[in-house]
A and B are shown apart, each in its own frame.
Chain A
Amino acid sequence: MSVWKFHSPFLDDVKQRGLGPALSFKVNETVERVTAGMDIEDIRSMLRGDPAPRPNPRVRPHSDGFWLHMRPTYYHNLVTGVYPSFRMGWLSTYFFVFEIITGLFLMIFYTPSPLVAYENMLNILSNVPFGRLMRDLHKLGAEMMVIVVVLHMLRTFITGSYKKPRQFTWLTGVVLLLVTLVLSFSGYLLPWDQLALWAVTIGASMAEAVQPQAVGDLLNLIIRGGPQFNEGGLLRWYLLHVLALPLVGIIFTGIHYYKVILHGHGLPPEVEPVGEDTAKRTPVDQRTYFMPDILTRELLLFSVVTVGMVFAATFFYHAPLEPHADPLVTPLHTTAPWYFLWIQGMLKIGDKFLWGVVMPGVMFGILFVLPYVEVGPSRRYGDRRVGLTFGALMVVILAVLSYMGTPRYGVPASLNVEIIAEIVPQTHPGPFRQAEWEGYRTANVSDTNPTGRVIYQAAQYDRAPTETLHHILAEMQAGVEHAQHQYEIGADDGLKDVRGLMVIENWQEGLKKVTWRVVWDPDGEGPQTAPTDDTLCPVGQIVPGEYCQTSYIDAEANYRQGP
């Protein structure tokens, strides 16, 4: 008689049946536990395409398991095609998870401090294997997520799927839309480059416009973390980006998914009797079970989209990185991210508070209450002409407003500055920096010309000695001719007798200095400065009829490889 008894059902089983059968039984049992209800034979039968046995073991993971309890057991045959969902909801979740994974990777190499944030970007790009890929994927994924979420909302609106009983699902969706937009926007600030600082400055300046002024000042202080954007502001935007918003997103995605289980996927509007929701009454012969059909389709979509993203980020898309943030240097044209251009467009219409805060607030407010106000029973397109027209009108209005948000609309331009900014923009490399360095030909160095200075006239781009110079001078001449044209048609921003000049000098070993000059006739009394005049950009003086800017270009700067 033993003092204690050793319990091992597995060993007992081995004794009884032998090692082989006992082992395969144990493995099978483990698989069944992991899948919450399907053993090896069930899985093989499903993958072979056998009809489901009765009782169907393929529904057990939905009722017993955690992950699949968030997914319906079966879909109506009519909702498994591309129409009516276009897979936009699934893709929204996909990109949310995609952003969390790539974001975690980037967090490892990031410190939210203005002192080192930009250096962190350089480190990710120069010293972290797969660092650039991860950064590009994260940025590309963010842009895609905004597109997909907006399209998902549009689709839901068009098919009338926000109507009873799915009102609350729509409301959580609007919350998720806001989370997506603010997530994307808050990520803008983190690299602490010029793009970051000025895009977020535009956002904060809208909060400042809130009335009464005391509230606006307070909001502004909260958003900036101080009178100036600095370490305080960066830290709170970082925490918003990596903690608060993802948390809200996860919670509301859970609610959103739960509501889909509860109400089922809405059928295409034309197949249902008006005013009825038959999504939960799918006839047995109309069912497509999640396993295996939907599951394999989603796995397919997953691999194709992921590979597409990796491929795009490797070969085509690189996230921009502008110069270090500098509160003292305002780039020539600062714009909000493209999905907020419509707000920037509205700001150009009139009062900052009315158009920048109240109107966007009203628009999102309408989105929130839409399903509770628009309670017409029919989801059919033919019965919703007014609503659909209104929706289409809103899309057109947003597109027009977004155009108005770009620098092309309503920004008083100084064409002398614009001519040069087209060639050497402050916010991205532009044609001058991306061209072949050797093409910027200088003269031989001599005692009278120690820097090998050459003055090229934009008008004579046809006679440029190199392909590079031909290209750059032609770009400059295009801007010059536009300014001249504006003068001839009597526009305010036109310049009379305008000429463009490009002066190239050897400045250091491997470094060339280029002085851009735009000269024109400021008062209609003939040209001020002869084009061959050697006094270039006198420091600290403003000469009427002349605008100068200098650029430096290093032989090894290699702007074509991306940031």
Chain B
Amino acid sequence: MIWRVLVGTVSLLIGMLTLGYVAITEQDRMASFSTSYEARRIEAGAAIYEAQCATCHGDRGQGGRGPKLDDVTLFDGTVTGAIGWTGTVHDFIYLTVAGGRPRPSEFYASLGNANRMPTFSNSFGGPLRDDEVRSVTAFVLNWGEAYKDANGQFPQATPTPNPNAAGTDITIELPAGDAARGETLVSTAGCVACHIGAAAGVTGPAWLTAESKDGQGVAAHIEERWQAADYAGAATSTDQYVFESIVNPNGFIVPPGEGATWQAPGPSIMPGTYATSLLKQDVADIIAYLKTVP
């Protein structure tokens, strides 16, 4: 009996020590697995690249029918900045591999590559699973490693997100607005789809006086709303009120009641991405335009 208790106790002690060892080393092990798995993604991506991508982009990314990929401008933000992509370089490459180019990119056409690119993700009829698209993305991104300096930075990096992007701080000083450019922008940025025409007053508040239920257009509304007693947003001027509505659509929603000409069905369905996809100048121009809407 004594032997049984003794051996049992000693073995439990060994068990606790082993578990303690695992507990202590577990963080390092998990980190090490993540690092090595990212590296294995690159290896897998290299094999897929060789089979699927090399014929157009060159076996070492030197370009051909498709653009050159082993190029610092792709990784330091120059290309994404020129195209107007406001997300990360990784997402740009991932999206391009997955969805291809349904029509030639104007940017690359100007560099002499006016070709289209097929889709590769099997979500869009291509041959690759999502994990394979991610592997190829990791491999392509790995070309960028060679261009980094000792601090792991690109020497002439264009920061992302773009420093000229509007951002969510509505108190900043905006440049002078150009109402004519603003009128063009509300079409190209998609505003008019919900604020003017058939959907106005249904999907989003109507801008035009003629389409608004209370006989007042957006120019009048933006003047009044932020000064109303029940206003709960952060704006302290008409410009800031419009700024807030663009970059933070849920910052203030007009409560139901006498003054409301349109009621949002719950939280705003307006895209929340304008803080990064519009520049400061764009916002200033749209504000200038909205003040002139008849």
Contact = CB atoms under 8 A, between A and B. Distances in A.
Interface of A: 47, 49, 115, 118-119, 122, 125-133, 292, 296-297, 299-300, 303-304, 306-307, 310-311, 314, 323-324, 326, 450-451, 507-511, 513, 539, 550-559, 561
Chain B interface, >50% SS class: helix
A47 B1 CA distance: 8
Given A296-B5, A307-B15, A311-B14, A509 B30 contact: no
A23 B231 CA distance: 66
Given A133-B22, A511-B43, A303 B8 contact: yes
Given A119-B131, A130-B26, A510-B142, A552 B15 contact: no
A507 B39 contact: no
Contacts of A561: 29, 32-33, 36
B26 A511 contact: no
Contacts of A299: 4, 8
Interface in B209-266: none
A307 B131 CA distance: 37
Contacts of A115: 130
A554 B35 CA distance: 11
Contacts of A296: 1, 4-5, 8
Interface in B117-159: 129-132, 139, 142-143, 145-146
A508 B29 contact: no
Interface of B: 1, 4-5, 7-8, 11-12, 14-15, 18-19, 21-23, 26-27, 29-30, 32-40, 42-44, 46-47, 50, 54-55, 60, 129-132, 139, 142-143, 145-146
Among A126, A132, A314, A550: residue with most chain B CB under 10 A: A126
B32 A307 contact: no
A303 B15 contact: yes
Contacts of B15: 303, 306-307, 310-311
B37 A122 contact: yes
A125 B34 CA distance: 8
B8 A304 contact: yes
Contacts of A507: 46, 60
B15 to A, nearest CB: 4
Contacts of A297: 4
B35 A558 contact: yes
A490 B46 CA distance: 40
Contacts of A292: 1
A554 B38 CA distance: 10
A296 B1 CA distance: 8
B291 to A, nearest CB: 49
A558 B131 contact: no
Nearest to A125: B33
Nearest to A560: B36
Nearest to B30: A126
A557 B36 contact: yes
Contacts of B23: 129-130
A558 B32 contact: yes
B47 A550 contact: yes
Contact of B42 (A118, A550, A551, A554): A554
B145 A508 contact: yes
6 contacts: A132-B33, A303-B11, A324-B129, A324-B132, A450-B60, A554-B39
**Across the A-B interface, the 7 shortest Cβ-Cβ residue pairs:** A554-B39, A307-B15, A509-B145, A556-B39, A558-B36, A552-B46, A557-B39
Nearest to A554: B39
